[in-house]
Amino acid sequence: MNIAVYPGTFDPFTNGHKDLVQRASTNIFDKVYVCVAENSRKETLFSLSERINLAEKSLIDLKNIEVIGFDGLLVDFAEKLNAKVILRGLRVVSDFEYEFQMSSMNKKLNHNIESIFLTPSESYAFLSSSLVKEIAELGGDISKFVSSEVKDALQTKYK
């Protein structure tokens, strides 16, 4: 079984995340674990359980996917799940430096696990959770960028 973990903050889960997971789980991996980080560098708008719940609802129509929360070292968590690959998305040049640093460190921590990067589909290249939050806060239409559950959750937060 070819298993990947796709870690992130997912605050909240967007169609860009989904596009990446969908391509990975249908074309490349037998199973993709979407790993929602508890202990993030970022302060989040949604709690861990809200972020897990919204990711699950956004991915309801896809197979070979499981959403789980995690805390602690990603490479240890990946090993427990028998995953050999860490999947990440690379959108723009500014993503590169941090991703490069992190994948090099993960490689040092566990040389059996590889990081693999997918570029977004063209229509999602500009899409990020923070941009979606900003638009939602300003009352803009985000229905093209997130699932209806995420849209509702954002509207409730910013009411």
Nearer to ligand ADP, 55 or 159 (CB): 55
- Choosing from 31, 51, 58, 129, which is the catalytic residue? 129
Min CB(128)–ligand ADP separation in Å: 5
- Choosing from 91, 107, 128, 157, which is the catalytic residue? 91
92 φ/ψ angles, rounded to the nearest 5 degrees: -130, 170
Min CB(158)–ligand ADP separation in Å: 19
User: Which residues are near ligand ADP by CB under 6 A?
Assistant: 8-10, 14, 16-17, 20, 42, 88-89, 91, 95, 120, 124, 127-129
What's the length of the chain? 159
148 is catalytic: no
42 is catalytic: yes
Q: How far apart are the first and last CA of the chain?
A: 45
Give every strand in the sheet of 65-70, ordered side by side.
65-70, 31-37, 3-8, 85-89, 114-118
Nearer to ligand ADP, 9 or 147 (CB): 9
Radius of gyration of the CA atoms of the chain, in A: 15
Min CB(73)–ligand ADP separation in Å: 14
Nearer to ligand ADP, 48 or 89 (CB): 89
CA atoms within 13 A on the CB side of 106: 26
105 φ/ψ angles, rounded to the nearest 5 degrees: -65, -45
Catalytic residues: 17, 42, 91, 129
